[in-house]
Amino acid sequence: MKVHRVKSSQKHINFFRHNYGFRSPIQVLVDAELCRIALRGKIDLRDQLPQHMGLPVKLLTTACVLAELRKLAAESDAHLAKLGASATDRDRKDATAASGAIFVARRFDQRRCDHSEGNEVDGSICIASIIGDVNQHRYMVACQNSRLRSELRMVPGVPLVYIRRGKMLIEPPSEASMLLAKQSSEQRLLPSEREKALLNRAADNAEKIASRKRKKSEPNPLSVKRPKVESTTTTTKTTGPAPAKSPASSQATTSADDSNAKKPKRRKRSRGGKADSGDQ
């Protein structure tokens, strides 16, 4: 079993698990022809199918499938008896596989179908009736009937497995399965009825709050710049021309200004300087 084939099979199974709710163990409906081919190719379904998918499986069959296997075994035995000594090894292997497939299918769990005992139908018809239009019980179908596989590809959410050249293969999801999965994912992104009601209520509350008049708020005193303080000096306004000054008053003002003027400081001589000059 090659690694890339196992990885692709597990990828397909994970698609059905994430989008259609398949759970472990995977329930697998097996038809009569696949049981016969698996036995002839020495493929143990109970051992190789879980390894192929990476998950435990639960193999199922129906009363109609068992009846079809008994019919195939009887036809193979009759054909072998008719050939007699002219029968080839291939004819003998086919007859042995048809008879042994009954014992293989009896080891599977039997799923109850709507067809009563004695009124069994073909196994492919029985499996198609169990799957229905929606595959409610999430069955995987293992079948060799190409006509049945084509019919089940039209039903969303049905994984298919078959045997080709002695190898077990899992088909990729059909177009119907991909389309429904895409629509479901887009639907999940949309808001539910409860979420829509909450959104409408929040929008109404926002409109009410916006309609209210907001009171004019005072500025923050800590962020307001203080106004500049203007000088408090006052000037007196006089009306008419200023009186003329007399010469005596102007002379007194000049002498007062001279007396108030700063007198120059006298430089003091040190006594030591005088003594030094006398010695010389």
CATH of the domain at 67: 3.40.50.1010
Are 73 and 33 in contact by the 8 Å Cβ rule? The answer is: no
In-domain check, residue 257: no
Q: What total number of domains does the chain contain?
A: 1
In-domain check, residue 242: no
How many residues comprise the chain? 280
Are 163 and 43 in contact by the 8 Å Cβ rule? The answer is: yes
In-domain check, residue 199: no
In-domain check, residue 236: no
Sheet bearing 109-110, strands edge to edge = 109-110, 57-61, 26-30, 139-142, 160-164, 167-170
Mean per-residue pLDDT pooled into runs of 10, the chain (280 residues): 77 90 91 88 87 89 90 81 76 77 88 79 90 91 91 93 88 90 74 75 71 67 74 52 53 53 61 49
DSSP string, 168-237: EEEPPPPHHHHHHHHHHHHHHHS--HHHHHHHHHHHHHHHHHHHSPPPPPPPPTTTSPPPPPPP------
Residue 278: the pLDDT is: 47
Q: Which helix (H) or strand (E) holds 167?
A: strand 167-170
In-domain check, residue 254: no
Residue 80: the pLDDT is: 76
In-domain check, residue 219: no
Note down the domain range covering 147: 3-185
| Residues in CB range of 139: below 8 A, 6 or more apart | 27, 28, 29, 60, 130, 131, 158
Residue 266: the pLDDT is: 65
In-domain check, residue 195: no
Cα 127 from Cα 129, distance rounded (Å): 5
In-domain check, residue 217: no
